[in-house]
Amino acid sequence: MPERIFIVDDHPMMHEGLARLLVQEGWEICGGAANADEALNRVMEARPDILILDISLPGKNGLELLKDLLALSPKLSVLVFSMHDEMLYAERVMRAGAKGYIMKDESADELLKAIRAILSGGVYLSPTVSSHLLRNLAGTRARGQIGLDRLTDRELEVFEMVGRGKSNQQISEQLRISPRTVDAHRTHIKTKLGLPDAAALMREAVLWIEHGKTGSSHAFRRTLASPDGREEGNGEQDASSGFKE
């Protein structure tokens, strides 16, 4: 009987391409969700052997969802598959109970390796993430990394959205918190990072995103797009429109 996999990703093209790849490998897709509420409602009934989770979701983020899922089902195996900066998020998701973390710009072969490792009862970290965590254990964190580690999960989420140019009202609506709470988070972030004002906060957030969260995942997209490696759609723009950058 094939192992059962549940996918949580809010981009349909990525979701469908990933499902196609996994079915070709002989696994069964037992369900999927595009946000935290759908996942919480469907996962327990689907009873997957492994859940593949994107961190960036509308509303409640994937890190919060991970904690909620493991509170309901402590034995659930979760592989986080995301374009988020592994230099911070990998450590957080592993502490929260995930069995693995892999970036979306890794190859399809590396993703399959990660899934097989977890299905075999192990854990998985990409070589980049493994090296980073080993450096942390050795006490060689970068100065900026130490500052960001002081942020709570919610503060980090607000920090990211500030860097993406979101207004307080937009952050409030997306995270379903009051504008006053957003202001409080921004104040805490500035204090923890030693930033004097809102302009400095914006600069730091933008620099963080540009440094750690951009990058191409074209190789993986091509693999998901079609068996012969050619991207589907009308050119590069169509083939990549459904993926996070």
pLDDT at 46 over 50: yes
Shared domain for 49 and 147, answered yes or no, is no
Domain ranges, residue 198: 143-212
62 band by pLDDT with thresholds 50, 70 and 90: confident
pTM over 0.85? The answer is no
pLDDT tens per residue, range 91-149 = 888 889 999 999 888 899 999 999 999 999 999 987 767 776 777 666 655 444 557 87
Pairing label, strands 124-125, 78-82: unpaired
Indicate the angle between helix axes 198-212 and 153-163, nearest 10 degrees. 90
Q: What is the CATH number of the domain that holds 180?
A: 1.10.10.10
Task: Tell me, yes or no, whether 171 and 51 share the same domain.
Answer: no
Q: Is 245 part of a structural domain of the chain?
A: no
Q: So what's the pLDDT on residue 1?
A: 84
Query: Would you call 90 exposed, middle or buried from its count of C-beta atoms within 10 A (0-12, 13-18, 19+)?
Result: buried
In terms of domains, do 35 and 132 share one? yes
What's the pLDDT tens digit per position in 14-31?
Answer: 999 999 999 999 999 999
Ranges 36-45, 90-99, 232-241, most confident? 36-45
Shared-domain flag, residues 55 and 110: yes
89 and 160 both lie in a single domain: no
Q: Are residues 116 and 195 in the same domain?
A: no
Q: Tell me if 35 is assigned to some domain.
A: yes
Both 75 and 118 in one domain: the answer is yes
